[in-house]
A and B are shown apart, each in its own frame.
Chain A
Amino acid sequence: MTHKHIIPFGLLAKIWLALMVLTGVTVGVASFDFGFLNVLVAMSVASAKALLVVLFFMHLKYENRVLGAFVILVFVILAIFIGFTFFDVAWRPEAGA
């Protein structure tokens, strides 16, 4: 049994265009110095791009809900293991080595 859902070329083209614009934004923003905010902005734009790729190019928007829940779970796990590591690393005194 195949669940055939064909994404129209026009929609894919719009997603491609949005990804190009976001790439331009991230390169543009990088030429200003906002300190740590730069990393935050860069990661937010990258996450927005990733969301577009996952939902449309990877077809997740049209897939089984259970599959969507699994994908979210994986990113939550990733956030936990990066976040919890920083609870440790960020509060250490300057080690210097």
Chain B
Amino acid sequence: MHEPHKDYLGDKFGMWLFLFTEILLFGGLFLLYAIYLHRYPAEFHQGGLELSRIFGAANTVVLITSSFTVALAISALQQGRRGLCQGLLAATIALAGVFMVNKYFEWSAKIAHGIYPGSSEMAQAGGTNIFFGLYYVMTGAHGLHVVIGAAILGFCMLRIGQGRVTAEDFGLLENGGLYWHLVDLVWIFLFPLFYLIS
């Protein structure tokens, strides 16, 4: 059978280039956050008190652990332990699910308290409104990345199951893993900025 062209290093560089655009995308949002924190320190402090540290810390543990399981999955595949790799990827996707369920409860609680963009409570809130606006945009953009990342890892599982991604040809899983770690990286900064600022 004809061997398809593979460029392992090129694929990896391409993935990192894409991650650079992601870093600058979130970087822009972090810049916006920094400027408004500088302008409204008291309101940001107050806003941070409204967020649940328990939820935030739990989701941090969940996401870091999911990064760990992906890294393990890559090592497992490289050692030829396919079943273990699949199991670790399934665990990662399950952890992504836990993260999103936590997020759902968190957002629901906020919305129930009248804290959402355009609510009457927020309309007069000034700096607090900006804090929660950034909270929704940044955790929302991050949450979207969690969902996409889980889908990518699901695709990797499928390809491993088909025998298209193997112990010798593992580039796809590595690059999928890189995306997942980026999601973790962003959260590592979001967590202290929103939950621990008070």
**Contact A85–B31 (Cβ < 8 Å):** yes
The reply on B170 being an interface residue by CB < 8 A is: yes
B196's contact among A4, A12, A26, A89, by CB below 8 Å, is which?
A26
**Contact B185–A74 (Cβ < 8 Å):** no
> How far is B57's CA from A59's CA once the two chains are assembled, in angstroms?
25
Given known A-B contacts A57-B67, A78-B24, A86 and B34 have beta carbons under 8 A apart: yes
**Contact A46–B189 (Cβ < 8 Å):** yes
A70's contact among B20, B27, B39, B61, by CB below 8 Å, is which?
B20
* Interface segment out of the listed B7-15, B110-118, B134-142: B7-15
Given known A-B contacts A2-B169, A43-B192, A50-B189, A23 and B75 have beta carbons under 8 A apart: no
**Contact A27–B196 (Cβ < 8 Å):** yes
> How far is B188's CA from A84's CA once the two chains are assembled, in angstroms?
24
CB-nearest residue of chain B to A7? B75
Given known A-B contacts A6-B78, A27-B53, A50-B189, A67 and B8 have beta carbons under 8 A apart: no
**Contact B75–A6 (Cβ < 8 Å):** yes
Given known A-B contacts A30-B192, A49-B188, A67-B16, A16 and B24 have beta carbons under 8 A apart: no
**Contact B181–A74 (Cβ < 8 Å):** no
Given known A-B contacts A67-B13, A70-B20, A16 and B68 have beta carbons under 8 A apart: yes
Q: Interface size (B, Cβ < 8 Å)?
A: 49
**Contact A89–B38 (Cβ < 8 Å):** yes
The reply on A93 being an interface residue by CB < 8 A is: no
Chain A residues whose C-beta falls within 8 Å of the C-beta of B23 in the assembled complex = 74-75, 78
Majority SS at the chain A contact face: helix
Chain A residues whose C-beta falls within 8 Å of the C-beta of B189 in the assembled complex = 43, 46, 50
Chain B residues whose C-beta falls within 8 Å of the C-beta of A4 in the assembled complex = 78
> How far is B39's CA from A32's CA once the two chains are assembled, in angstroms?
23
Question: Least Cβ distance of B79 to chain A in Å?
Answer: 6
CB-nearest residue of chain A to B35? A89
**Contact B31–A82 (Cβ < 8 Å):** yes
Chain A residues whose C-beta falls within 8 Å of the C-beta of B165 in the assembled complex = none
A82's contact among B27, B174, B188, by CB below 8 Å, is which?
B27
The reply on B64 being an interface residue by CB < 8 A is: yes
Given known A-B contacts A26-B192, A46-B188, A85-B35, A9 and B64 have beta carbons under 8 A apart: no
**Contact B75–A19 (Cβ < 8 Å):** no
**Contact A12–B31 (Cβ < 8 Å):** no
10 closest residue pairs by CB, A with B: A42-B192, A30-B196, A16-B68, A57-B71, A6-B78, A78-B27, A74-B20, A58-B181, A19-B64, A49-B188
Residues in chain B within 8 A of chain A (CB atoms):
8-9, 12-13, 16, 20, 23-24, 27, 30-31, 34-35, 37-39, 53, 57, 60-61, 64-65, 67-68, 70-72, 74-75, 78-79, 168-171, 174, 177-178, 181, 184-185, 188-189, 191-193, 196-198
